Amino acid sequence: MAKVLVVTSGKGGVGKTTSTAALGAALAQSGQSVVVVDFDVGLRNLDLVMGAERRVVFDLINVVQGVAKLSQALIRDKRVETLWLLPASQTRDKDALTEEGVARVIAELRKKFDWVICDSPAGIERGATLAMRFADAAVIVTNPEVSSVRDSDRMIGLLDSKTERAEKGQRVEKHILITRYDAARAARGEMLSIEDVLEILSTPLLGIIPESEEVLRASNLGSPITLANSTSAAARAYMAAARRLKGEDVPMTIPHDKKGLLDKLFGRRAA
Amino acid sequence: MSVFRLFRRPSSAPVARERLQILLAYERGVRGQSDLLTILREEILAVIEKHVPIERDNVQIKMDRGDAVSLLEIDVEIPNSAGLLVSA
């Protein structure tokens, strides 16, 4: 039974695309068939983060408009054979997406894959609303920071009212993914804690991704972090989150990278 | 001043938390003013008004969204002179 998952946040720059790539790759590495779909029409980036930017021929808009077949637009990952990408168009704008067209493409993807992961653009306009429209579940990517938490709250409201499931009176399963978390700063009271964010948003936690230099390195290389450096703290956190998405009961921890002496002296660890 | 701040800078996370809680309580209230809430408000007030006189301005209605359930909260101010015990 295929599951359609939207990765959303409202606010830009919090890590939607990084998280889409990492969760998609982690699920595919565990043997599931996965397609990651870029809904950021006009500002596509998932292809770049996945390292497939030079292999894009047809895109989501071409398929939505019937110009290309789905099989022509799908790009298979070179590292994990059960991982696929459906890129966004770079030249068109978001108005080229129609609800009927997106519905048709999502229905077709549901037949082919275990997971359809939709990478939402920032904002609450057409691209973002269509990315969540047919979702069964949502990952709301949140930084422990006021504007990100506020925007996440807004997205939770939209998921509960504007999705197809909500309109049918069904629930969209929602998860908070906290990214760029700095346990030491949270312990010093300089950053909202996990408990603060969860209490404010009253939504269950999928995972905590620690702030990590490895994330930038992975995107520089064009590889999801779980493939670029599978032992890094961020990769381990994404892999645990992916297992929770599959329904496994994985204890919630905040993985940390190996630290130097100075970090050990001054840094602090949280549970 | 800066030397003092070096030694003791108050943590900012509790401020962030409080500001967010206040802001989001308001924003959820505005967002919750859907048609359903308007209908509920009118019908509930009509029932109350059948028995006690109330001032429409002294009525507060809000929806608190929780994980599993949401809470519809209605605060109606009833003047002591309304003779509530008799009407009930």
Q: Is B51 on the interface with A (CB under 8 A)?
A: no
Q: What is the 3-state secondary structure (H, E, C) of chain A?
A: CCEEEEEECCCCCCCHHHHHHHHHHHHHHCCCCEEEEECCCCCCCHHHHCCCHHHCCCCHHHHHCCCCCHHHHCEECCCCCCEEEECCCCCCCHHHCCHHHHHHHHHHHHHHCCEEEEECCCCCCHHHHHHHHCCCEEEEEECCCHHHHHHHHHHHHHHCCCCHHHHCCCCCEEEEEEEEECHHHHHCCCCCCHHHHHHHHCCCEEEEEECCHHHHHHHHHCCCHHHHCCCCHHHHHHHHHHHHHCCCCCCCCCCCCCCCHHHHHHCCCCC
Q: Which residues of B touch A196 (CB under 8 A)?
A: 13, 16-17
Q: Which residues of A touch B22 (CB under 8 A)?
A: none
* Shortest CA gap A230–chain B (Å): 32
Render pLDDT for B65-77 as a digit per residue (tens, 0 to 9).
676 787 888 888 8
Task: Please give the backbone phi and psi of residue A108, each rounded to the nearest 5 degrees, phi first.
Answer: -70, -40
Chain A residues within 8 Å of chain B (Cβ atoms): 145-146, 149-150, 153-154, 156-157, 160-161, 186, 188-193, 196, 200, 202-204
Q: Residue B33 has what pLDDT?
A: 59
How far is A78 from A83, CA to CA, in rounded Å?
A: 9
Enter the tokens of residue A218: 């992975």
- The distance of Cα A164 from the centroid of its chain, to the nearest Å, equals 20
* Model confidence at B87: pLDDT above 50: no
Nearest CB to B13: which of A154, A192, A204? A192
Contact across the interface for B11 and A188, Cβ inside 8 Å:
yes
pLDDT tens string, chain A, 271 residues long: the values are: 799 999 999 999 999 999 999 999 999 999 999 999 999 999 999 999 999 999 999 999 999 999 999 999 999 999 999 999 999 999 887 788 999 999 999 999 999 999 999 999 999 999 999 999 999 999 999 999 999 999 999 999 999 999 999 999 999 999 999 999 999 999 999 999 999 999 999 999 999 999 999 999 999 999 999 999 999 999 999 999 999 999 999 999 998 887 666 666 665 444 3
Q: Which residue shows structure tokens 């790009």?
A: A75
Q: Residue B4 has what pLDDT?
A: 56
* Shortest CA gap B81–chain A (Å): 40
* Cβ atoms of A194 and A186 closer than 8 Å: yes
Q: Which residues of A touch B35 (CB under 8 A)?
A: none
- pLDDT above 70: percentage of residues in chain A: 95
Domain ranges of chain B: 34-88
Strand partners, A41: none
* Shortest CA gap B50–chain A (Å): 33
- Closest residue in chain B to residue A156, using alpha carbons only: B65
- Closest residue in chain A to residue B29, using alpha carbons only: A157
Q: Is B65 on the interface with A (CB under 8 A)?
A: yes
- Closest residue in chain A to residue B22, using alpha carbons only: A200
Strand partners, A207: A177
Q: What is the CATH number of domain A3-266?
A: 3.40.50.300
This model of the complex carries an ipTM of 0.81
How far is B31 from B64, CA to CA, in rounded Å?
A: 11
Q: Are strands B70-76 and B59-65 parallel, antiparallel or unpaired?
A: antiparallel
Q: Which residues of A touch B28 (CB under 8 A)?
A: 153, 157
Contact across the interface for A153 and B66, Cβ inside 8 Å:
no
- The distance of Cα A173 from the centroid of its chain, to the nearest Å, equals 15
Contact across the interface for B24 and A192, Cβ inside 8 Å:
no
Q: Is B22 on the interface with A (CB under 8 A)?
A: no
First to last CA, chain B: 64
Q: Residue B2 has what pLDDT?
A: 56
Q: What is the DSSP letter of B80?
A: G
Render pLDDT for A176-215 as a digit per residue (tens, 0 to 9).
999 999 999 999 999 999 999 999 999 999 999 999 999 9
* Shortest CA gap A202–chain B (Å): 6
How far is A49 from A36, CA to CA, in rounded Å?
A: 12
Q: Is B58 on the interface with A (CB under 8 A)?
A: no
How far is A152 from A201, CA to CA, in rounded Å?
A: 8
Nearest CB to B20: which of A149, A191, A202? A149
Its sign, for the CA torsion A189, A140, A146, A232, is: positive
* Model confidence at B56: pLDDT above 50: yes
* Cβ atoms of A109 and A6 closer than 8 Å: no
- The distance of Cα B81 from the centroid of its chain, to the nearest Å, equals 25
Q: Is B24 on the interface with A (CB under 8 A)?
A: yes
Its sign, for the CA torsion A110, A108, A62, A78, is: positive
Most A CBs within 10 A among B12, B33, B71, hence the mutation to make, goes to: B12
| Residues A45-62 as b or e (16 or more Cβ within 10 Å = b) | bbbbbbbbbeebebbbbb
**pTM for the model:** 0.80
Domain ranges of chain A: 3-266
